[in-house]
A and B are shown apart, each in its own frame.
Chain A
Amino acid sequence: MIIQIMSNLFEEGYLRRDKYTLLSPFFSNGNVAFRREALSQVAPYDGNCYSGEDQDMCFRLAKSGWELYFARDAVVRHKSRTTLRAFMRQWFNYGFHHPYLFKKHDFKGLRIYRPDNRKDKSAIYKDSLRVRFPFPILIFLTPFLALHILLALAILFAAIGLHIPAIVSGGFTLALALSYFRSDIDARNPFRTCAFVFFRYVVNLALLLGGLLGGAKRGMLYISATFDYKG
């Protein structure tokens, strides 16, 4: 499975096939059913997909003209077994293997997505820049990424002795951090707060690094969206 980057999947019904892209919502193949007639047109699964084979399959079906339907009452329950190491490795791998799909389906140019804060949460990111470029670049301007850029700026300003800009950048970093980790902060339970902030940070870092390394392997710059995708 790969992240549901662009949208939440929670409303019963058809997915938008006319606007279906590799970044569209897809069905995790942990809970999915195919019409054999459709499968036989696009099968087999791509043996080179170490993860994301489900996304690849949904994309190919949509391109062949088949409708995709989300049945929210067809519920399976997943065991939440995990260790921090397994959790990080899982998201590292999603990031690492995602660029294979981009290259396979001919991703080109420079594309930047930014958060789409619409109320109904039907999309999480929107296409904010799409230009021709000789080298494939895909960037999600997430708060997580912004946090690191601001922090780097603060450190840089401090290092070269520009104190006022350093304090301003540091202040923005702190404000953004508080906003980003707000769902983890529970004043009555500092231990839980620290643990949740730590988990969120390291898992997102694993995903980001996985994306960067996987992108490098496939000859592209890929800055992944974060795993906490609820917008």
Chain B
Amino acid sequence: MENNFVVSVVIATRNRAESLRDTLASLTRQSRKPDEVVVVDNASSDHTRDIALSFVDRLNLKYVYEATRGIPHARNAGIQNSSGDIVAFIDDDCVADEDWLRHLEIPFVKDPHIGVVGGEISYFKVGDDMLEAFYIQNMTSGQRTDSKR
């Protein structure tokens, strides 16, 4: 698609270094590469910083430390420290499908009145207990039951 959008991806994170690694790894596999990735470390006490910085050779990554705890503060720091025309957010306990960013960007290109584009959040199993089965059955948004990967 022809456009000149600069797309930033912001991840606000706190004390989930290992999970953040998976999120960042999924960003390296995007069909539409993020032009910039901003990791906002919201006062973590673990090795979040090391994990983030270990991706600087694969992503145009900026590490930002935000001392004031709380999601809104972290997201605001991400907005201020990113430069994209489009600012996408993904959480530190999520991984993105390969075409995630491409599909998020398309509507902005098609219609200048669109200010915000939301995507689908689905869940994947990490264990094998009943609570997890219940959680997945009830938390999956919409009617998407297929698991296209």
Contact = CB atoms under 8 A, between A and B. Distances in A.
A and B are partners in one complex rather than unrelated chains: yes
Contacts of A10: 141-144
A66 B68 CA distance: 30
B119 A68 contact: no
A113 interface: no
A154 B131 CA distance: 31
Which secondary structure characterizes the binding site on chain A? mixed
Nearest to B136: A80
Contacts of B141: 4, 8-10
Interface string B97-129: 101111111111001011111111111111100
Given A53-B75, A87-B135, A32 B88 contact: yes
A184 to B, nearest CB: 8
Interface string B64-89: 00001011110110010000111111
Contact of B111 (A67, A79, A83, A200): A67
B134 A74 contact: no
A33 B120 contact: no
A34 interface: yes
A35 B114 contact: yes
A131 interface: no
Given A45-B72, A66-B114, A78-B123, A36 B87 contact: yes
A49 interface: yes
A228 interface: yes
Quick one: which of A31, A38, A81, A87 has the most chain B CB within 10 A? A31
Contact of B97 (A28, A77, A80): A77
A30 B94 contact: yes
A149 interface: no
B42 to A, nearest CB: 13
Interface of B is mostly: mixed
A197 to B, nearest CB: 10
Given A43-B76, A72-B144, A78-B122, A61 B116 contact: yes
Nearest to A199: B134
Interface in A53-96: 53, 57-58, 61, 64-84, 87
Interface residues of A, number: 62
B114 A73 contact: no
B93 A39 contact: no
Contacts of A74: 97, 99-104, 117-120
A46 B94 contact: no
Contacts of B139: 80
B130 interface: yes
Interface of A: 4, 8-10, 26-39, 43-51, 53, 57-58, 61, 64-84, 87, 121, 183, 192, 195-196, 199-200, 227-228
27 contacts: A9-B118, A29-B71, A30-B90, A36-B87, A37-B85, A39-B87, A44-B72, A45-B72, A45-B76, A47-B73, A51-B71, A53-B72, A71-B103, A71-B119, A72-B120, A73-B103, A74-B99, A75-B96, A76-B94, A76-B120, A77-B94, A77-B97, A78-B121, A80-B123, A84-B131, A87-B131, A183-B137
